[in-house]
């Protein structure tokens, strides 16, 4: 490694060559702040702000007629956003709907398609998944009068950070009805091989669903080509939809014929029949059948603006820059922080690495607080994890360089000792 690679001039040269550099100007970035928490909550863009204000304007101008009038009639807004989101997950437009939330959509998938029968009564998950998914799975098992202790299989991690696909496949026994797995592990950022796992599941007669919260907007997907059964995700991380933004749901079209919603509601209806007010549901014939209630329009509107940037930039370019950012990050960490006992706990292999860096250190909570005191927004994960997410659309290589230099200063000058080594209420 040359001294040039470690210089700020090298970082600035990378930024000058960046084909996505113009998108940084689209976002509201607080002066004097380096925001590396876009894998928890993405920043507000000017386009998202405008699409939200446009939605408010349509309410102001049309009142209830906004359901069918204006540039973006509310009645079809969830489907419109689903169509715009479909390329990000590699799906057909009718297979995607923007609705609900991550957990609500998982509940809907399980209540609709988890049908324990005979010896196939178990759900396969993993021990590293985000707790909310496990809460939902256990809840659905209890609804079926099945004990989570007996009917939930959680694949163990060998190192506490990553999973082996072989271990997951070994757990796909003939007692498993459906598998629910993350596409990207929220702590370590490991990408699971979704195509391989889907093929293995189907060879064993198992349905499979993926939680895309930490992959959508960060890595390309090909759900339909991979023949994935179901997927669900939030839109407030890499997609920059805003806090509480409406979630997303994918259903492979081969399941449309069996998509009588387990949690039915008014918006599960076929559009042409919805206002007939019949007490027997005529459900939509596509992924829209898994909607439940009236769309949360003000929480969905920012996505319209945000998704336009993904359409323009393309996921391949976004992924390419993301990999360069994290590779550069690790290069600098190895060179500058080795003596301070940081461990790079995310995968180094490009095929397995998602959109963030995961550092472990026994003083992680204190270090995160010291970073924030110096204008850097990281993400702390108990007990000793620091997630740092340089986002392709608005972060720079120079910011990566600055954060590594700041970490070096915090450790050399022991700035972290000014803070308690425990998390805040919201980590």
CA angle 331, 336, 341 (to 5 degrees): 100
- Confidence at 335, pLDDT banded by 50, 70, 90: very high
pLDDT number for residue 424: 77
pLDDT number for residue 406: 98
CB 138 within 8 A of CB 148: yes
Q: What is the pLDDT of residues 306-333, one digit of tens each?
A: 999 999 999 999 999 999 999 999 999 9
Query: 222: which strand partners?
Result: none
Mark the binding-site residues for pyridoxal 5'-phosphate, compressed into ranges: 102-103, 130-133, 211, 214, 236, 266, 294
- Confidence at 425, pLDDT banded by 50, 70, 90: low
For residue 1, how many other CB atoms are within 10 A of its CB?
A: 9
Instruction: Report residue 88: phi and psi, to 5°.
Output: -70, -25
Q: What is the pLDDT of residues 242-280, one digit of tens each?
A: 999 999 999 999 999 999 999 999 999 999 999 999 999
% residues pLDDT > 70 (the chain)? 99
Tell me how far apart the alpha carbons of residues 191 and 347 are, in angstroms, rounded to a whole number: 9
Given a cut of 70, is residue 1 above it in pLDDT? no
Which of 232, 266, 276 is closest to 252 using CA atoms? 232
For residue 275, how many other CB atoms are within 10 A of its CB?
A: 10
- What DSSP line would sit under 279-317, residue for residue? SS--B-SSGGGG--SS--HHHHHHHHHHHHHHHHH-HHH
Q: What is the DSSP letter of 153?
A: E
% residues pLDDT > 90 (the chain)? 97
- Confidence at 355, pLDDT banded by 50, 70, 90: very high
Residue in the block written with tokens 């069996």: 258
- Confidence at 427, pLDDT banded by 50, 70, 90: low
- Mean predicted confidence (pLDDT) in 3-19: 95
pLDDT number for residue 306: 98
- Mean predicted confidence (pLDDT) in 27-55: 98
Mark the binding-site residues, compressed into ranges: 102-103, 130-133, 211, 214, 236, 266, 294
Domains of the chain: 3-31+314-418 (3.90.1150.10), 50-312 (3.40.640.10)
pLDDT number for residue 76: 97
Given a cut of 70, is residue 334 above it in pLDDT? yes
Mean residue pLDDT of the chain comes to: 97
pLDDT number for residue 225: 98
Q: What is the pLDDT of residues 189-214, one digit of tens each?
A: 999 999 999 999 999 999 999 999 99
Tell me how far apart the alpha carbons of residues 333 and 17 are, in angstroms, rounded to a whole number: 22
Quick one: tokens of 380?
Answer: 């702390």
pLDDT number for residue 422: 78
Quick one: tokens of 261?
Answer: 């919603």
Given a cut of 90, is residue 3 above it in pLDDT? no
pLDDT number for residue 68: 97
User: Which whole-number Å values give the CA distances from 220 to 127, 240, 368, in the listed order?
Assistant: 25, 16, 30
């Amino acid at each position: 490694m040359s001294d040039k690679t470690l210089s700020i001039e090298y970082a600035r040269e990378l930024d000058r060559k960046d084909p996505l550099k113009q998108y940084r100007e689209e976002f509201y970035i607080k002066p004097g702040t380096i925001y590396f928490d876009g894998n928890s909550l993405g920043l507000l863009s000017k386009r998202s702000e405008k699409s939200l204000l446009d939605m408010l304007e349509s309410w102001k101008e049309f009142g209830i007629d906004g359901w069918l009038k204006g540039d973006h009639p509310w009645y079809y807004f969830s489907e419109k956003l689903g169509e715009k989101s479909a390329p990000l997950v590699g799906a057909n437009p009718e297979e995607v709907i923007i609705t609900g939330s991550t957990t609500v959509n998982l509940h809907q998938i399980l209540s609709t398609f988890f049908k324990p029968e005979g010896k196939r009564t178990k759900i396969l998950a993993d021990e590293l998944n985000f707790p909310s998914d496990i809460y939902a799975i256990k809840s659905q098992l209890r609804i079926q009068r099945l004990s989570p202790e007996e009917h939930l299989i959680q694949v163990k991690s060998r190192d506490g950070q990553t999973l082996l696909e072989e271990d997951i496949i070994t757990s796909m026994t003939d007692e498993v009805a459906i598998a629910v797995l993350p596409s990207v592990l929220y702590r370590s950022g490991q990408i699971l091989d979704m195509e391989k796992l889907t093929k293995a599941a189907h060879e064993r007669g198992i349905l499979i669903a993926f939680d895309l919260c930490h992959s959508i907007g960060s890595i390309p997907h090909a759900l339909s080509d991979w023949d994935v059964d179901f997927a669900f995700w939030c839109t407030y991380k890499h997609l920059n939809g805003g806090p509480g933004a409406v979630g997303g749901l994918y259903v492979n079209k081969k399941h449309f014929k069996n998509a009588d919603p387990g949690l039915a509601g008014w918006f599960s209806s076929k559009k042409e029949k919805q206002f007939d007010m019949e007490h027997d549901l005529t459900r939509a014939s596509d992924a829209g059948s898994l909607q439940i209630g009236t769309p949360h329009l003000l929480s969905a509107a920012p996505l319209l603006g945000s998704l336009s940037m993904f359409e323009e930039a393309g996921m391949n370019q976004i992924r390419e820059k993301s990999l360069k950012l994290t590779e550069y990050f690790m290069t600098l960490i190895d060179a500058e922080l080795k003596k301070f006992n940081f461990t790079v706990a995310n995968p180094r292999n490009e095929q397995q690495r998602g959109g963030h860096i995961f550092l472990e250190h026994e003083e992680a909570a204190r270090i995160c607080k010291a970073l924030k005191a110096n204008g850097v927004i990281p993400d702390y994960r108990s007990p000793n994890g620091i997630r740092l997410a340089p986002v392709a659309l608005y972060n720079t290589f120079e910011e990566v360089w600055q954060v590594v230099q700041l970490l070096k200063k915090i450790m050399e000058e022991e700035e972290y000792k000014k803070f308690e080594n425990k998390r805040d209420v919201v980590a």
